Chains A and B, each alone.
Chain A
Amino acid sequence: MSVPRFWRKQVARYNLIGTHCTNCKTYYYPPRSMCPKCRRDGKTENYKFSGRGEVLTYTVIHTAAEGFEKQTPYVLGIVKLEEGPSLTSQIIADPGTMKIGMKVRPVFRKLGESGEKGMIYYGTKFVPE
């Protein structure tokens, strides 16, 4: 990931800050600059998610992408936050203990790094509640 690309969204990644449309009451993560439902009638404001949610689905990665090869097997899941939106995240748990519907909470972890010389990228992952 390029340094500017990460930096633009780092606050959202660190603190699960998304958006809330006060017109249609919909929550979005990652943040949206406009509400896709209300379009020009939408009124969006920043919203910090509690991070509590449940696992909608998950997969166990055995053949990983570059940079993650030595972490296998690890769990990648879709977490549905209490307020509604879903996001894809690594779930730090023994793959054998994973269950769809299990409750999770957020933790602050290293998401990756650009080799030994590059930036270290931090953000939110999830662990079982």
Chain B
Amino acid sequence: MSAGIVSYGAYVPRYRIKVDEIARVWGDDANSLKSGLMVYEKSVPGFDEDTVTIAVEAARYAVKRSGIDTQRIGAVYTGSESHPYAVKPTSTIVAEAVEATPVLTAADYEFACKAGTAAMQSCMGLVQSGMIDLGMAIGADVAQGAPGDALEYTAAAGGVAFVIGNKGSEFIAVIEDTYSFTTDTPDFWRREGMPYPEHGGRFTGEPGYFKHVTHAAKGLMDKMGTRPEDYNYAVFHQPNGKFPSRAASILGFTKEQIQPGLVVPKLGNTYSGSCMMGIAATLDQAKPGDRIFATAFGSGAGGDAFSFTVTDKIEEIRNKAPTVVELLADPIYVDYATYAKHKGKIRLA
């Protein structure tokens, strides 16, 4: 039995803060940061938005886009590193809010920035085995970065939901295969009860991101017998603009292939939503028959690679919910103080 994407939905809060504004507060060189990171602004959650509300909005757009009967959903898995509860699932709230309850399984996933794609793989297994009819995999975050830390320039808010099914007639994209590469790597972590993550310096680039992304990507292409030129588009986890561009170049993908899915310059890093947002933005403009290659990365560390082929059905449902470009339009810019208030960075009495 095959697995495919039946629908997708994305959500991005309306607020943005520019890199220039963060650099102004910390006395950093904004131009050097912007050219180094290839990030110019990032999304900021509203004071009443968190991973749950973002996951629900993305999930509702996914339901709206395809018009599926949500009682068919047999699993809801939400990947995030900013679940608002340490104990009590985000996924039960999402399931209730899309009226998928009560006959379903639900759980929250955590694997740094690739918890959402881990949820996709779980849903693939469940639909391919016939255990469930449809599964909903979500990656959503209100990403954490300590004040003044390098991460603060990119840590953003957003989420994406994919509905995964096993009936070919419902697919907007066939998931041809997936491949993961995972090792125990101390590149990034957050301890229980700590508000902000720490990163392990030199482990971030080569031993973390590039090793796992390239091994997962090459592993999938070797397994499938495909090459970069077989794909119309490619998406790589985008903690900044530089890393996915370099990963694409190492693997032999062109700038044109990654362009539609490279949403980080105006969005920032939505952590668990990052790679999935790139896939959603690519689906927003892909044509039937197009092939999409995607590799998510999660610190800790692992890479999940996917190969998709877009079907004719994409044209029927694409415009029934907002595209990523539409979600990024019409932002409300905030200053650092408002951003700090929205993110709860100021401990209020």
Contacts and interface: CB of A to CB of B under 8 A. Distances in A.
Contacts of A10: 96
Interface residues of B, number: 18
A14 B56 CA distance: 10
Contacts of B84: 120
B234 to A, nearest CB: 33
Contacts of A111: 48
A71 to B, nearest CB: 6
A108 B96 contact: no
Contacts of A110: 48-50, 52-53
A60 interface: no
20 contacts: A14-B93, A14-B96, A14-B97, A15-B97, A70-B341, A71-B47, A90-B48, A92-B48, A107-B53, A107-B57, A108-B53, A108-B57, A108-B60, A108-B97, A109-B48, A110-B49, A110-B50, A110-B52, A122-B53, A125-B48
A100 interface: no
Interface of A: 10-11, 14-15, 70-71, 90, 92, 107-111, 120, 122, 125
A122 B49 contact: no
Nearest to A120: B84
A109 B49 contact: yes
A60 B341 CA distance: 19
Interface in B25-58: 46-50, 52-53, 56-57
Contacts of A11: 96
Nearest to B93: A122
Choose among A15, A92, A107 the residue with the greatest number of B CB atoms under 10 Å from its CB. Answer: A107
Contacts of B96: 10-11, 14
Contacts of A125: 48
